[in-house]
Structure 1
Amino acid sequence: MSERTIVTISAGLGQPSSTRLLADRLTEATTEELAAHGLDAVVHTYELRDVAHEVVNAMLTGFPAGELREMLEAMTNADGLVLTSPLFTTTYSGLFKSFIDVIDKDSLTGMPVLLGATGGTARHSLALEYSMRPLLTYLRADVVTTSVFAATDDWSGEADAVNPLPARIRRAGRELAEKVAGREPGDAADVYDDAPSFEEMFKRL
């Protein structure tokens, strides 16, 4: 079977995190659909909380380093992305936006992306459409039609008749898998190759 690489990035702040749980469910749905297309999935999952300090450093210096750089390289060379964020004051988290700000502006061009978000109440569900989707569209990513919002109450039941979340997750995973399956395996150039080391940066000071 041919392989496709899926990179999953969660901006959840807690441990355990409902945002990470949603990311895992979306990724699982995507890999199952890829298997139906005769494709194996290689999955790399990252949590932004683990590189929060490196994100800030990259914003200050202009150059990613360490685990953050590895994450960005993996994302750039992926065949598809799953991105999830908690919602605060009706929009994505500050950590999620800061991460997006350190991404090279051309690295996600044409990249299939599935978006998910979590929040306390369904009243904030449209934030996916008026904040997260435009942000990724601005970067020219190929965002799938179905985005998935999970409120706290959505985790209380699994049956489709009681809770539409599982069906929506499956539909979103199918849409991402179809886009990924329709592309050649990613072989993007490393847009971070030219980033200098800390030693080189120090010499410039």
Structure 2
Amino acid sequence: MLSNTKRTEIKKGAHKAIYEQEALYSIIDESLIAHIGVMTNNTPTVIPMLAWRVDNHVYVHGANNSRLMRLLKNEASCCLTFTLFDGWVLARSAFHHSAHFRSAVIYGQFATIDDNKEKDRLLNIFLEQIAPGRIEHVRLGNKKELSATTLLAIQLNEASVKIGASGVNDEAKDLDIPVWAGILPYRTVVGPLEPVSDLADGIETPDYSTAYPERWFE
């Protein structure tokens, strides 16, 4: 079960709150984009970052001289949000239009991964998540590259999940309005692969569809 703290309590639309840990994991794994909110010089700042999950931690990486990396490295309190948009709900009245979505909010502080061997392992896991089997063929990070990279981890100890997936909520007085009502689905598809123009002859197109079973587009 997810944590239940003052910061993670969902008050508006509480019926959309989900408390299963797997729901949190699935949103993070599908999104792979974390919007990270921090305070800098008394100013709120939100920056989107590539992010991935391994077990109960989320990882982000960036250059050592990144302002955000330096700030998070100092264990600044922060908030991460992940959002997946799944479609529009089209009602008979303008007021009752809404959306299908899946969202997650995480609070906490990042810790730094300093060991280059551990950095390499975790970065390779990320590469395998987006393109299974790729680490067997590409050049992996070297000592210089790994040393120039800041890798941070945040534990998923304080998080909330909200999912909107209900149907049209028309009022009884609007049911006779002669207009179409229903769901306008929104889907993100992945593929097909687009090769670079200087690809050498004889290189076969890899198959990464296993990472995106329901979203892969032939």
Q: TM-score range by the shorter chain?
A: under 0.3
TM-score scaled by structure 1? 0.26
TM-score scaled by structure 2? 0.25
Larger Rg: 2
Question: Comparing both structures, which one devotes a greater share of its residues to strand?
Answer: 2
Question: Comparing both structures, which one devotes a greater share of its residues to helix?
Answer: 1
